[in-house]
Amino acid sequence: MFRAARRIGKERTDVSIQKSIQLPLFEVLEEVGGRARPSEVYERVADAIGIGEKSRQETRTCGDGQSYRVFDQQVRWARQTAVAEGLIAGDRGIWELTDSAYLKLGKIRRGAVVLIYTTGDGFALWAHAEDAASYIDDGSVQLLMTSPPYPVVNREYGRFTVEEWLRWMRHCMGIWKSLVASGGTIAVNLMDVFVQGTPMLSPYVERFTLSSIDDVGLHFAGRMMWYSPTKLGNIEWTAKRKVHPRNKLEHVLLFSKAPRPSWDITRIEMPVKSSSGRKVKRDTIRPSGMDICESAFVSGQGLPSNLIIAGGASGNDTYSRRARDVGIGRHPARFPEAIPRRIIQLATAPGDICYDPMAGSNTTGKVASELGRRFIASEPMLEYVRASSLRFSHRSDFRLKEEIGDVVGSQAQ
Ligand SMILES: C[S@@+](CC[C@H](N)C(=O)[O-])C[C@H]1O[C@@H](n2cnc3c(N)ncnc32)[C@H](O)[C@@H]1O
């Protein structure tokens, strides 16, 4: 009697462990391309749910004397439950996510591209960046502007080590180079991250820059810095231990296909004039001996700089309010409109195409459209693409496709 009760209790625990393993197991399978051998997933699932090395190595011995790792066995049970629910297919040697599992994850299958909505001046695809590219004409994009997931940071849409991230981004930059017009620009917004467990900055931004130049063959056309007065800084090293100054800067790296991209700073609208609009009286001969035109010193009318000052995206803007009203989750890591606005004005003319391959809430598309440019957006998380449609759904030229959209890729084949 006592034994039976204990067994029932134990089974309950195993079932709840299996359930808590199931989603990370799907995410890991998705990260490695949708199918994998069991031995390729155990370690990654353990990392994903934070199982320490000691628990990971714990073994038990069966009645026949064979020993097995307890954690790996739990992952196998989680897989068995998922097979029974139609979420994992394949034989014991290969585990493969089914379409139902992808829908549960809300993430598109690799290789598939689905059109979710269109407007008179743009369209949004549900797709991974690598796949969406095959539906865009080479040389048609004047500006590719994006903010990729940063390495090391855990988000519901993935996590990467620095090495994995650099490999992935080198691959993407190679694909994007073909899409961009000869005078076109690729703009990438990146945030500094720390080497895990230390207050040292990861030099991944520098490594990415060099790899884009040396391996991909792009030109390093410029760099903008985004200063965000509202940025909080790192919790561990700034707020708790107080050893690292609050980092309020992010990078926007600008690469071009040609040594002279079609940029024009006169298209950049400058911040509102100072209240007086008076000229600031200064000597036009600088200490260096250079003569600088007086108009550069007119308050609010100087030449545009490479500094963008803007707080983070508001949690109460129209997009957020509409998302709240219809009960869709907002995107957790939007950039403010000021970022794409400055770059679009610098690097494109009205009518040009701006493409954001990691579009999230499609801030880039919204600003591009407002500025009279055309937009393309792609994003692998369905929830985000749906929420981004709320930026355009009030317009008469807005067309939402079917629930999952017109399948233009292999998803439904
Ligand atoms: C920092 S967010 C971009 C936010 C966006 N700039 C905005 O303002 O809403 C990065 C986005 O990249 C997406 N992402 C992750 N992996 C991707 C992939 N393989 N291809 C394309 N996008 C990806 C994530 O789902 C996420 O929405």
Instruction: Quote the ligand 1 centre to 150 CA distance (angstroms).
Output: 10
User: What residue owns the CA closest to ligand 1's atom 26?
Assistant: 360
Q: Which residues pair with 226 in a beta bridge?
A: 250, 308
What single-letter DSSP state applies at residue 49?
H
Domains in the chain: ranges and CATH? 2-104 (1.10.10.10), 108-268+304-407 (3.40.50.150)
- Residue of 15, 83, 25 whose CA lies nearest to 49: 25
Sign of CA dihedral 339, 344, 350, 354: negative
Ligand 1 atom closest to the CA of 384, numbered from 1? 27
Whether 161 contacts 152, CB under 8 Å: yes
Quote the crossing angle between the two packed helices 2-31 and 38-49, to the nearest 10°. Answer: 100
Ligand 1 atom closest to the CA of 381, numbered from 1? 25
Kindly calculate the radius of gyration of the chain based on its CA atoms and give it in whole angstroms: 25
Taken as a whole, the chain contains a residue count of: 413
- Residue of 399, 376, 403, 405 whose CA lies nearest to 134: 376
Task: Report pLDDT digits (tens) over 362-394.
Answer: 999 999 999 999 999 999 999 999 999 999 999
Instruction: Evaluate: CB of 28 within 6 angstroms of ligand 1.
Output: no
Ligand 1 atom closest to the CA of 363, numbered from 1? 8
Predicted pLDDT of residue 409: 42
Predicted pLDDT of residue 99: 84
* Ligand 1 mutation target, pool 157, 164, 367, most atoms within 8 A of CB: 157
Residue 216: both structure tokens together: 């991909």
DSSP 343-412: HHHHH--TT-EEEETT-TTTHHHHHHHHTT-EEEEEESBHHHHHHHHTTTTTSTT-EE-SSS-EE-SSTT
Residues of the chain scoring pLDDT < 50: 1-12, 277, 279-280, 297, 405-413
Q: Taking the CB of residue 32, how many other CB atoms lie within 10 A of it?
A: 14
Residue 349 amino acid letter: A
Instruction: Quote the ligand 1 centre to 359 CA distance (angstroms).
Output: 5
Predicted pLDDT of residue 90: 76
What single-letter DSSP state applies at residue 94?
-
